[in-house]
Copies of this chain bind each other. A is one copy, B any other.
Amino acid sequence: MARTQGSHSDITGPRVQRAALELFARHGYAAVSMRQIAAEVGVQAGALYNYTADKQSLLFDLMRGHMDELLAARAGQPQSGSPLQRLEAFTRFHIRFHLERPDAVFVSYMELRNLAPGNFEVIEGLRRAYEDQLEDILRDGVRTGVFELADSKIATLAVIAMLTGVTTWYRSAGRLSAAQVEQIYWDMVRKAVSAG
């Protein structure tokens, strides 16, 4: 067993993933070739197959990695408090997490249709698990009367759409800081679901 240390694999592997993520985000999965990814890494196309079974796995692994990270980060957060407090925590978490990973977010919801059926089901399941957390909060709030929503399922999707939309325009060098954006969105979400 040679080369367990200082192996290029430890370096090239992540570089392949990063290059694929950037290119998929910028041009779309179908529009990016394995040779483009290889060129970005500085390697020949054949070498990529030391790090991924095929192009589809490259996409799937990126998306599953992102969703796993999302759910893990969310699980490591405080889940207690009033519905309003929990909604605030969720909203701020969502904005912050997504602003830190614009490429992964973009790919994870733009490239769903390019997943093979089995892979799609996996990602869809993870996404639903995340959305269900928000729906639970909204339902609890409706029960206690602090929220007022005609349909908590639609409200969930509407809030998620609004929040995730932040990645389409936010630039870290822009006019507003991430903290400001977080506050602005929280104000709007709070009002949108509140009673009265």
In the complex with contacts A28-B30, A31-B114, A157-B168 CB distance below 8 A: yes
Bound CA span A194–B110, Å: 32
A176 to chain B, nearest CB (A): 7
Q: Name A's interface SS.
A: helix
Q: How large is the interface on A (under 10, 10 to 19, 20 to 34, 35 or more residues)?
A: 35 or more
User: In this complex, what residue of B is CB-closest to A154?
Assistant: B184
Bound CA span A161–B184, Å: 15
Bound CA span A185–B189, Å: 13
Residues of B within 8 A of A185 (CB): 154, 158
Whether B168 pairs with A154 at a CB distance below 8 angstroms is no
Residues of A within 8 A of B (CB): 26-28, 30-31, 110, 113-114, 149-151, 154-155, 157-162, 164-166, 168-169, 176, 181, 183-185, 187-189, 191-194, 196
